[in-house]
Structure 1
């Protein structure tokens, strides 16, 4: 499909509302460096002149980043078998794990959001639980008319846009999955995390070369801009676009005319009914909602609780460490972390991006409460249509809403979830109640009696991902998500031995 200029302009404008939402920190954080322990294997390539313009995958020009990864994919698919892919992935895991504290430190210092200790855990999660080639299964159909083999083939070169909320985690997760599928990838990272992403990408490429792999299996442009996003969308060499971020970005990419895998926004509701283990629910909700200052799109964003057990839930959450805001404090926090505009239809609230991912204790200090640095989560009792309920905040502020009946609670939860179909959870010992909410909410991830982190393998079974592709249907992405199905047929009874 030919992309018209007006479509390109719309793509760029919409994508960059998300991509350029934060201004990058100028100060260069002190970092460790990774040096190969032995000379990397040399792989000859017709694109060696282009490759020389980059530094372990980081290029000044997006065109060079695209060209280098495009040529690298040709070599990769021709000369490297599945066992070779797995060898490279194993080396990436090894090196990334050795540098996990550096990655977390760099990201925290550059972006100024989230918590260092939780970023360590997030990076470890993707290092250890992102599947490699093991999920690429070959299917065979044999009959009187012959043999058919169905295999997963690479798309080729993938263009990927990554968020500021999980920058290095998304790169590690995407690279492992994409090269497991035989692809290469060029990243357009969030400008506010470009330094930590560059370090991460160079670390990965050094590891690949040390393990005997080709250069530039993953590349990025050093200075991501609106023009570099446009170049990814326009390039004929890019066969697949992957966007991890907000809904508007996904909608923009879908207008490119290319195959798109998109991970959109979420505002995950939690329901706690009267049959639940309330102390356990409080512990799990606190753990999930406070993790990395609630930056994860799948983290608990609002709680709906049966009015008969609401007081108990709040009591146990305070016992876990949450701080309950009174009415006056709630208003001050609202004025601090939200902005608003008055329209003919009423007041419209927006998230103040200055406070996204900031510590709860820092918020309390900003409204005059001292010695609260240890506080990880703020909770408040509100009505079901409160701005804190309806907005995806990405902050450690958790609204709690009482309901009289389960049907009322589900109705409130569906309104707050906005039809994103991303993530939801419920605490209950009643299977019928759990089933009722799960069927109503229709989310990609539905977690029962645990924090939503379990939905991506953190304290739960199954593999992990940082690209939860609800809008485009791939779900919890892995290597298979980044492949296309190919069928090879031997007809007329050929190879039939029975």
Structure 2
């Protein structure tokens, strides 16, 4: 079987498994979800440097010290923020207008991950997806598969130890453009979260699924005068 077929098969297998795990996860108490999210973030903390080393070694981008800081931020700071957010049930209510906002999970999230941030991006996407009651399948860049798989393994094993169903958090182990496209278009995929270059962002928005996508140049940046 060639690489494209292996990747497509992996995408289909992961999407189906994630959907079954999502169905089992439905109705989980928000307090338990918060405990799972917190535990995953804490599990990353002692591994932040090692994951940074793996990322630099595999991709050739960045340096270990900065990768470690980004991993810690996307684990601990993101988890701290998510703890303050309500994602399921009644989000807000306006009794005068007789309306309310109700939060519901989307289902299976297809998470596209860039080569420049192969571990830190996975960390925050997994935390965010699970906080909202979803399953997630990560599709790393072909040059960031090994460090991506290891990041997902740490978080998935921790989540399962805390009571999450097996398969709720997954990572493609064979990655090609065709396999990632199959994951985005798969009938079990409900929403796409894409981080990467213009080509990836365009592909995500063309998948036919609701998409949250961002790439270089999409956000305002402050440059200190000393660096201008």
TM-score range, shorter chain: 0.7 to 0.9
How many residues in Structure 1 have an aligned counterpart in Structure 2?
Answer: 215
Q: 1:157 aligns with which of 108, 125, 129?
A: 108
Equivalent residue, structure 2, for 1:260? 211
Counterpart CA distance in 1 for 2:46 and 2:9 is 28
Q: Which residues in structure 2 correspond to 1:405-424 (within 5 Å)?
A: 421-424=218-221
Q: Which residues in structure 2 correspond to 1:109-148 (within 5 Å)?
A: 109-130=57-78, 131-136=81-86, 138-143=91-96, 147-148=98-99
Q: 1:230 aligns with which of 174, 181, 194?
A: 181
Deviation at 1:426, TM superposition (A): 5.1
Q: Which residues in structure 2 correspond to 1:8-407 (within 5 Å)?
A: 61-78=10-27, 80-130=28-78, 131-136=81-86, 138-143=91-96, 147-266=98-217
Kindly indicate whether structure 1 or structure 2 has the higher relative contact order, using CA contacts under 8 Å at least 6 residues apart.
Answer: 2
The structure with the greater share of residues assigned to helix is 2
RMSD between aligned residues = 2.0
SS in 1 for 2:213: strand
Counterpart CA distance in 2 for 1:226 and 1:71 is 25
Higher-Rg structure is 1
Counterpart CA distance in 1 for 2:152 and 2:33 is 17
When the two structures are superposed, what TM-score results if normalisation uses the length of structure 1?
0.41
Counterpart CA distance in 2 for 1:108 and 1:67 is 32
Q: Any stretches of 5+ residues in structure 2 without a counterpart?
A: 1-7
Counterpart CA distance in 2 for 1:151 and 1:251 is 30
The structure with the greater share of residues assigned to strand is 1
Counterpart CA distance in 2 for 1:61 and 1:257 is 20
Residues 245 and 141 of structure 1: CA distance in aligned 2, closer, same or farther (over 3 Å): same
SS in 2 for 1:136: coil
Counterpart CA distance in 2 for 1:114 and 1:427 is 21
Counterpart CA distance in 2 for 1:196 and 1:252 is 23
Counterpart CA distance in 2 for 1:204 and 1:427 is 36
Residues 199 and 141 of structure 1: CA distance in aligned 2, closer, same or farther (over 3 Å): same
Deviation at 1:77, TM superposition (A): 1.4
Deviation at 1:60, TM superposition (A): 7.0
Q: Any stretches of 5+ residues in structure 1 without a counterpart?
A: 1-58, 267-420, 429-448, 452-498
Are the equivalent residues in 1 in contact too, given 2:181–2:207 (CA < 8 A)?
no
Counterpart CA distance in 1 for 2:123 and 2:221 is 26
SS in 2 for 1:224: coil
Deviation at 1:230, TM superposition (A): 2.1
Counterpart CA distance in 1 for 2:64 and 2:21 is 34
Of the structure 1 ranges 127-136 and 196-205, higher mean CA displacement relative to structure 2 is found in: 127-136
